[in-house]
Amino acid sequence: MQNITRIYALSKRNIILRYKNSLIGFFWGFFKPLLYLLIFIVIFKHNSGIPNYILFVTSGLILWFFFSNVTGQSVGSIVGSVGLLKSLNIPSYFFPLSETIGELFNLLLTLLIFFIIMFWFGMDYNIRLLLIFPCILLFAVFALGLNLFLSSVNVFFRDISIIWNTIQPALFFMTPIGYAESSIDPKYKFFINCNPIYYFIKLGRSILYDPVAPSLQQWGNCLIICIGMYAIGHFVFSRLKNQFISAI
């Protein structure tokens, strides 16, 4: 119980800190996907051949920006919490965890607004949309696993945050968000299949956009990737955590 209070307090701190001293605060969270949406409309929409393009892109962008924000924030979460880590006996995984929870809160607010706005863009409201919550849960656990890995290794090699920020845009374009999967040359399809984020975005989009529910195999793929990533992150983190204080 005490731990829940602590994680709650840290998550709240993260949310406060993120928008401290900014004029429109939380609304920046909408601004970024909106900007990308406009870019995609200008570049791809006219010959994408995708029906209901705006819903298609937005459903992908929301999930992508959750992922991009949460990893970008978490990679420095241990290094940035040096003061608290040195003063209090609290488990260090609370820091990447609370970043993930704070961003999850943002995602839920964004999703709420998405559900309202998409009324005008032909969203099919039915009970199946609720499947987005288990999908988000899987994606969040995957992201948490990655965050545990990134934040702990970043303590020892600060390059990690730079590398991560460099490869993120590449990952973004390796994920079919603004374009259809079918428009990729089959020769290069392999690269897309290697991208774990692709599976989560696809699952989410199946729920929000496609007329048919995602297949069991889709859920299975995501579950395996999610467990695998969490296991790796957890392993690396627990190997390194005892040396955090000496290295920061």
Partner 1 sequence: MNSDIIIKLENVHVSFWQNNVGVYSLKDLITQRKSPFKSKTIINDISFEVKRGESLGIVGRNGSGKSTLLRTIAGIIKPKAGIVTVNGTFAPILAIGAGLEQELTGYENITLLLSLYGIPRKNTNAVANIREFSELSDEALRMPVKQYSSGMVARLAFSISLANDSDILIIDEVLAVGDQGFQIKCVEKIRQIKNQGKTILFVSHFPDGVRDICDNAILLEQGEITHRGLAADICEQYKMLF
Residues of this chain that interact with partner 1 (CB under 8 A) are 2, 5-6, 8-10, 12-13, 16-17, 20-21, 82-90, 156-159, 163, 242-243, 245-247
Distance CA 170, CA 164 (A): 10
Q: Which residues, including other chains, have CB under 8 Å from residue 68's CB and lie 6 or more apart?
A: 168, 172
The residue among 158 and 189 lying less far from partner 1, judged by its C-beta, is 158
The residue among 20 and 46 lying less far from partner 1, judged by its C-beta, is 20
The residue among 14 and 221 lying less far from partner 1, judged by its C-beta, is 14
The residue among 33 and 80 lying less far from partner 1, judged by its C-beta, is 80
Q: Least distance in Å: CB of 225 to partner 1? A: 26
The residue among 217 and 246 lying less far from partner 1, judged by its C-beta, is 246
Q: What 8-state DSSP symbol labels residue 20?
A: T
**Two tokens, residue 180:** 């259809």
Radius of gyration of the chain (CA): 19
Q: Least distance in Å: CB of 28 to partner 1? A: 16
**Two tokens, residue 28:** 């920046």
For tokens 């999703």, what's the residue?
Answer: 111
Q: Least distance in Å: CB of 10 to partner 1? A: 7
For residue 86, give the 3-state DSSP assignment: helix
Distance CA 158, CA 18 (A): 21
Residue ranges in 118-215 assigned as alpha helix (H)? 132-156, 159-173, 189-194, 196-208
Q: Least distance in Å: CB of 233 to partner 1? A: 19
Q: Least distance in Å: CB of 30 to partner 1? A: 23
